[in-house]
Amino acid sequence: MSRYSKRDRQIETPEQISRDSTKERIEMFFCLVPVFGLIPSAIALVRQRSSRKVRDVSQVAIALMLTWAIAYGAMGGVPTEGETLQVTTELIKATFSSGYFAFCMYLMYRLYRNQAIVLPWLKDITESKESQSVKRDRKHDQ
């Protein structure tokens, strides 16, 4: 045993101990890839063997992609030939697409730093469902 072994053990934090496996982290990174991450996200949600964290990240990725797709589609989608391009509409669509891409990169950064991957509106919905299920469980226990 080296003389530094005690000091090295003291440096460990709970965050370092409870890290995800490498396979799970790679799955979560693939789920957060803009647009193409829909495929691994859907597979992770359908498959029963994936962990809860992977499924949560998959839900976030799908919700984010659907939000982008709805916003992009609401602006008129892809222009057809012969239409006059309206600069403001195209700028807004480009801003949505850039924001979606940047937010996916930000979530990947948070995943790299072992921080929570959650959307604010999705978190509120899941917390309300959890509190309702806890209330139901308490009623059944009585």
State pLDDT tens for residues 38-76: 999 999 999 878 888 888 899 999 999 999 999 888 887
**Domain ranges, residue 67:** 20-141
Mean pLDDT of the chain: 77
Rounded to 10 degrees, the C-alpha dihedral 10/11/15/17 comes to -60
Q: Is residue 67 part of a domain?
A: yes
Asked whether 54 and 44 are in contact (CB, 8 A), the reply is yes
Q: What is the spatial distance between Cα 100 and Cα 98, in angstroms, rounded to a whole number?
A: 5
Q: Is residue 14 part of a domain?
A: no
Q: Is residue 10 part of a domain?
A: no
Q: What is the spatial distance between Cα 31 and Cα 13, in angstroms, rounded to a whole number?
A: 28
Q: Is residue 88 part of a domain?
A: yes
Q: Is residue 81 part of a domain?
A: yes
Asked whether 69 and 93 are in contact (CB, 8 A), the reply is no
Q: Is residue 106 part of a domain?
A: yes
Domain count, the chain: 1
Q: Which of 7-11, 17-21, 95-99 has the lowest mean pLDDT?
A: 7-11
pLDDT at 80 over 70: no
Q: Is residue 31 part of a domain?
A: yes
- Amino acid identity of residue 113, one-letter, is R
Q: Is residue 68 part of a domain?
A: yes
